């Protein structure tokens, strides 16, 4: 009888220890993701404020006086982009999805580690360029990054801001799951229109949730 109680006490202690470890791990993950999301949001604000300033500066008209005559000179050529970094990666844009409260910087990197800290532009012509641009993000269980993409429906809005300060509204018109080897959505013909494809893993890592959106 005493031996049975002792075994029960040992098992109970093991269960309590495992439970505490799991709780600590979950709290740690929640706090880490909260901090990451907050930092990402601040980077988006910094990026958008910076590129808006650059865009305004590029459009300024410089008035000069030459031989008593007034000349208006408009800055032209390639616009100067703002070099903002997030976790060591160059920020090339931002994505906002009001329905799922997504607000993250977009980086251009082929490193898997980049997806742990930001949304990544994986393929295509470039942000807000004619054609299709593929944007990928992790599917976190707490809803971080593209974890709530499953809640998006046709008609929902997505906003992409690029390095020139141009902010484009896209409207979702297609949503489906496919295999991890299917990349046909990336090379589809948009007939010269600006479109984006959002891609993320589903609960089954062998499948992908893909969303198509076109410029509104």
Closest CA to 145 of 200, 192, 74: 200
Q: In the block, which residue shows the tokens 């390095």?
A: 163
Full residue range of the structural domain in which residue 75 is found: 2-215
The dihedral over CA atoms of 172, 174, 176, 179, expressed in degrees to the nearest 10, equals: -100
pLDDT for position 8: 75
Is the pLDDT at 75 greater than 60, yes or no? no
CA atoms within 13 A on the CB side of 4: 1
In whole angstroms, give the CA distance from residue 196 to residue 132: 5
Distance CA 103, CA 165 (A): 16
Q: What is the CATH number of the domain that holds 49?
A: 2.40.260.10
Q: Tell me the per-residue pLDDT of 144-193, one tens digit each, with 9 for 90 and over.
A: 899 999 999 999 999 999 999 999 999 999 999 999 999 999 999 999 99
pLDDT score recorded for residue 15: 83
| Count of domains for the chain | 1
Q: Give the lowest-confidence range in 27-36, 72-81, 112-121, 176-185.
A: 72-81
With 0.85 as the threshold, say if the pTM is over it: no
């Amino acid at each position: 009888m005493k031996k049975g109680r002792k075994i029960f006490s040992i098992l109970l202690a093991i269960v309590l220890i495992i439970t505490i470890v799991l709780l600590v791990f979950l709290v740690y993950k929640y706090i880490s993701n909260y901090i990451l999301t907050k930092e990402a949001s601040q980077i988006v604000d910094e990026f958008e404020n910076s590129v808006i300033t650059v865009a305004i500066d590029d459009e300024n008209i410089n008035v000069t006086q030459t031989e008593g005559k007034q000349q208006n000179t408009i800055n032209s050529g390639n616009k100067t982009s703002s070099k903002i970094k997030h976790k060591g990666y160059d920020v090339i844009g931002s994505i906002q999805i009001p329905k799922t409260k997504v607000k993250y910087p977009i980086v251009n990197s082929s490193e898997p580690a980049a997806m742990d800290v930001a949304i990544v532009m994986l393929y295509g012509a470039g942000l807000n360029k004619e054609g299709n641009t593929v944007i990928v993000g992790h599917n976190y269980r707490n809803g971080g990054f593209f974890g709530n993409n499953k809640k998006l429906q046709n008609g929902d809005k997505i906003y992409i801001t690029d390095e020139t300060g141009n902010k484009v509204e896209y409207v979702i018109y297609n949503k489906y799951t496919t295999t991890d080897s299917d990349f046909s959505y990336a090379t589809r013909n948009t007939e010269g229109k600006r479109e984006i494809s959002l891609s993320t893993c589903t609960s089954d890592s062998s499948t992908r949730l893909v969303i198509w959106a076109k410029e509104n």
